[in-house]
Amino acid sequence: MKNIALAAALLATSLLFSVAATATEPMKALIVDGQNNHGVWPKTTQMMKSYLEDTKLFTVDVATAAPKGTDPNFKPDFGRYNVVVCNFGHGAAPWPKETESAFEEFVSGGGGFVVVHAADNSFPAWPAYNEMIGLGGWGGRNENSGPYVYTNDAGDVIRDTSAGRGGNHGKQWEFPVVVRDREHPITKGMPVEWLHAQDELYDQLRGPARNMEILATAESQVTKRHEPMIFTIRYGKGRVFHTPMGHAEYSLECVGFITTLQRGTEWAATGKVTVAIPDDFPGADETSSRRFAK
């Protein structure tokens, strides 16, 4: 009987260690890239990969499409991952239909999706992609793509159906980001206003904007409207995190961007956020950046 009890105890201990090991295993993230009008994209992919791995929450793979045209071999196994980060850009060729369908199934089935900067320029003729990103620009997007979406000074969301192109930006500058939802897991604990490092501030984005929640905005010098800078979209069972920030390496070095990417990716993957707001997070009057030397 003692041997049986000892064996049972050893088995229980083994199972506990197994469960604990499984619980602490990092999640799997995939960055997709390969065609982007921003020539710095290979570096920004590596920066985002490093930032996500720094959290110890993720291991990160990269799937890169051929540099021109639809790549028939671009067929990532999305089902292996918890979250996919898109670093494609304006002018990217469509994915193979099989890959598009697999991605739609991945996100609608509960997979996480992260849209960064020019990824919202991509694939204007792909209806499901436009639903997933909520808002986009360029590529022929116009009033047929959906309304302009922005907030007024009071924070009320405006859906403007007037005619006009989708996508624009003024000169690069350091701009204040205003948190509109202080209780969402991604933005909770952020200062109400913080100064983002030099970047393009996208304005006049438009799209289906269904099941979309604006978490933070920035006032455009062009439109004089508060344009969405951090927002989420629900697509089926999937969670989508979208930020139009992130034009160049100096933009990605902003601690505000790094933290937003980390927290937004964790939320897209799990619906929760454990990444803390760091002590060097920017304030309302001064930017804060970390030089990327890897």
User: What's the pLDDT tens digit per position in 96-132?
Assistant: 999 999 999 999 999 999 999 999 999 999 999 999 9
CB-hemisphere CA count at 13 Å for 108? 9
78 φ, ψ (degrees, to nearest 5)? -60, -30
Question: Is the Cβ–Cβ distance between 239 and 205 less than 8 Å?
Answer: no
**What pLDDT is attached to residue 23?**
54
Helix 41-54 vs helix 255-270: angle between axes, to the nearest 10 degrees?
70
Is the pTM higher than 0.85? yes
**What pLDDT is attached to residue 153?**
83
- Single out the residue of 122, 133, 65 nearest to residue 99, CA to CA: 65
What the block records as the tokens of 239 is 């969670």
- List, as own/partner pairs, every contact residues 207-211 make where C-beta atoms lie below 8 angstroms and the sequence separation is at least 24, other chains included: 207/130, 207/133, 207/134, 207/135, 207/136, 207/141, 207/145, 207/146, 207/149, 207/166, 208/130, 208/131, 208/134, 208/145, 208/146, 209/134, 209/135, 209/146, 209/147, 209/149, 209/159, 210/131, 210/134, 211/235
What the block records as the tokens of 76 is 């990532």
What the block records as the tokens of 94 is 């469509």
**What pLDDT is attached to residue 208?**
98
**What pLDDT is attached to residue 158?**
98
**What pLDDT is attached to residue 155?**
87
CA 250 from chain centre, in angstroms, equals 18
**What pLDDT is attached to residue 22?**
43
Ranges of residues in the chain with a pLDDT under 50 are 1-2, 4-22
**Given CA atoms 259, 262, 266, 268 in this order, what sign does their dihedral have?**
positive
**What pLDDT is attached to residue 131?**
98
Residue with tokens 């034009």: 247
**What pLDDT is attached to residue 237?**
98
13 φ, ψ (degrees, to nearest 5)? -65, -45
Q: What domains sit in the chain, N to C, each tagged with a CATH number?
A: 27-270 (3.40.50.880)
In the chain, how long is the greatest CA-to-CA distance? 81
